Structure 1
C-alpha cells in the first residue's frame, strides 16, 4: 500500500461454537460499521473504489489454520483486500457450555482487527 488514509479497529467474539472465522468477521464488521468515507473516492487513483486497497490485520488466539480468509474478505464491500493473521486476541470462559449452539467447551474466542484503507 502506497498511502494509508484510514486505520479502523474492532473486536469480534464468538461466544458459543468456538469458530475463529465468525469472531474474525465480527471484528472486521465492528471496525468498519460506524465509518463513512465519502471523500475517499476523490483521492483514489482514477477516482475508483476498485483502486482502494484494504489490508486487514487479525490478532487471533488460536485455530489460525481454520480461519477462512475468503469469508473474512466478504465482510468488506470494496477494495483489493489482503489478510494478515498474527498471534493475539483472547480465549476466555463463557461460563457455560451450550451444545445446541455448537459448543465443544466453555471457551469464547475474541479476535482483534485493524483495517487499513488506502491506495
Structure 2
C-alpha cells in the first residue's frame, strides 16, 4: 500500500537519576507529541487506525529499551517502535544521565477524492 508521511516530530527526553533508558525514551516521545496536532481526522472523519505511527528512539543502549512500554504510550494509530544506537550518556557528579532522542512519524494511505466536513473545531 502506498503511504504518505503526514507528520514528523522530534523529541528529547532524559532520566537524570536511575539510568532508565525506557523512561528517557518515553519522555522523548511525549515531548514530540506536545508539538503536534492532527486535526485531519476530525475534518475528514477518517478513523485513527488508518494511520501508521513509526517511532525511532536513539539511546546508548538500545537493548535496554522496553519497546512494548513505548508502544503503550502511543495514543493513536498502528504503532511500530524501534530502538537504535544514539542519544547520550552524560556523567554528572558520579551519576549517569541518560538522554534519548525520538522521531515520531505518522503515515496515511494515499487518498483520493477527499471531502472535508463542515466541522471547524
CA RMSD of aligned residues (A): 1.7
The structure where strand makes up a greater share of residues is 2
- The structure that has the greater radius of gyration is 2
Q: Is the 8 A contact 1:59 1:85 kept in 2?
A: yes
Q: Is the 8 A contact 1:41 1:49 kept in 2?
A: no
Report the Cα distance in structure 2 between the residues aligned to 1:112 and 1:6, rounded to whole angstroms.
Answer: 17
2:105 counterpart residue number: 116
1:33-85 CA-partner distances (Å, limit 9, x unpaired)? 13221124556xx71101111000111112x2221111111111101000122
The runs of 4+ residues in structure 1 deviating greater than 3 Å are 40-43
- Relative to the length of structure 2, the TM-score reads 0.81
Please, which of 64, 67, 79 is the counterpart of residue 65 of structure 2? 67
- Relative to the length of structure 1, the TM-score reads 0.82
Unaligned runs of 5+ in 2: 109-121
Q: How do 1:1-119 and structure 2 match up within 5 A?
A: 2-40=3-41, 42=43, 47-62=46-61, 64-96=62-94, 106-119=95-108
Unaligned runs of 5+ in 1: 97-105
